[in-house]
Structure 1
Amino acid sequence: MAKLQVAIDLLTTEAALELAAKVSPYVDIIELGTPLIKAEGLNVIKEMKSAHPDKLVFADMKTADTGALEAEMAFNAGADLVTVMGAVDDATIKGAVEAAHKLEKKVVVDTIGVQNRVQRAKEVSAFGVAFVELHAGLDEQALPGYSIQKLITEGIEAQVPFSVAGGVNIDNVKDVVAAGATVVVAGGSIYGAKDPAAAAKALQEAIGA
């Protein structure tokens, strides 16, 4: 069954821990967003892993250089998974994967900014990454005509382990799962909900239905 990942795009450790406490019973992976890590540093990773040792902690580092070094930094802080940008040189991704193997952790490739996500997903999967995140960032989602269906279609075409991040909600989550996603990433539909726990629970139930 697909795992549910909550993307915490908040800006303080306190707010992130508060949200995680509410939704942790219903999610498999707790993602610490890039703005959160930039605002709070690696300590937010340590705090989250300490609070939720039974969950996979996903550090959205969006590494673009020094793949091995940045991956090791996040892993040593307690992250189970880190992201490297798909648009960077292959050596950066491979370096992060090597670091992950040494520490028994995992790397995810983020495809923001990649022109041909399907082709790149196939290329980087050969490097030993855990899965590829087919990701439309907030800026792309705000563009006229954006539809998550494009990511869903790309996942079907890529035929590699993938996640979908880019507007997942209760109305489309079943389509994401039906496409074969390894991980379903929900951000605003959880942390922006009036009741985040109920929103996470509803997504979890839809994934398992």
Structure 2
Amino acid sequence: MRLQVALDVVDLGSALGLARRVAEFVDILELGTPLVKAAGMGAVSAVKAAHPDKVVFVDLKTADAGELEAGLAFEAGADVVTVMGVADDDTVRGAVAAGRKYGKEVVADMIAVTEGRVARMREVAKLGVSFVEIHAGLDEQARPGYSIDRLLADGREAGVAFSIAGGVKAATIGAVRDAGASVAVVGGGIYNAPDPAAAAKELKKLAA
């Protein structure tokens, strides 16, 4: 299972600093949506230039104009972009078309898909995305009683390639691996740690 770090910061300097500290121990560097909105596509090019050997994942959360938005990110150096799982099928198809044009990957982010999530995961897989990200956002995670177990159950049931984002940390990453996830996405479990590099190193070991 690959390890993805979410660079959930809002300025490029902080993103590059965090990436520099943890890159040795992760497989995928994710530019979070706030970073892309704050710093623009130049941030994608900067992270890719600094870490050409890493997969650069750009969390666009595209909801419309899939081919256009994905193409902008791919031209800037992205290896993977996200399209919203709740988006229109043609938006998903457009992003996938851009991925094929550039030889890159598109992931369907299932954030905000609460009803019929397993069925929608299967639908977007048929539309050609590389995998789906079963994602509980920060607001959902902050609600009382939130558990990663629902995400894992949906991943096991869907029968498609998936990643997990939302509450992945040292205590849960083993369960993410055992559920069959291709990628574990870690944000706060790395960037909020006293030593992000040490946290990433430990998580990488637990993901193996």
TM over 0.5: yes
Aligned residue for 2:106? Answer: 107
Instruction: Read off the aligned partner of 1:21 and give its amino acid letter.
Output: R
Task: Tell me which residue corresponds to 2:4.
Answer: 5
Q: CA deviation at 1:177?
A: 0.2
Q: Are positions 1:14 and 2:13 aligned together?
A: yes
The root-mean-square deviation of aligned C-alpha atoms, in Å, is 0.5
* Partner Cα separation in structure 2 for residue 149 and residue 202 of structure 1: 22
Alignment of 1:139-154 (within 5 A): 139-154=139-154
- The aligned counterpart of 1:176 is 176
- Note the alpha carbon deviations across 1:109-136, whole angstroms, 9 max, x for none: 0011112221111110011111100000
Report the number of matched residues: 207
* Letter of the 1:14 counterpart: G
C-alpha distance in structure 2 between counterparts of 1:126 and 1:3, whole Å: 23
Aligned mates of 1:43, 1:167 — CA distance in 2:
29
Instruction: Identify which range, 112-121 or 171-180, moves more after superposition.
Output: 112-121
TM-score (norm 2): 0.99
Amino acid corresponding to residue 162 of structure 2 in structure 1: F
Q: Residue type of the partner of 1:27?
A: V
Question: 2:202 is matched with which residue?
Answer: 202
One-letter amino acid matched to 2:139: D
SS of aligned partner of 2:83: strand
Paired residue secondary structure (2:198): helix
Question: What are the residue-to-residue correspondences of 1:92-171 with 2, within 5 Å?
Answer: 92-115=91-114, 116-171=116-171
Partner in structure 2 of residue 64 of structure 1: 63
Give the 3-state SS of the residue equivalent to 2:163 in structure 1.
Answer: strand
Moved over 3 A (4+): none
What percentage of aligned pairs have identical amino acids? 57
Could you state the TM-score of these two structures normalised by the residue count of structure 1? 0.98
Unaligned segments of structure 2, at least 5 residues: none
How far residue 68 of structure 1 moved from its aligned partner, in angstroms, is 0.1
**SS at the partner of 1:6?**
strand
User: SS of the counterpart of 2:184?
Assistant: strand
In 1, distance between residues paired with 2:201 and 2:122? 32
SS in 2 for 1:184: strand
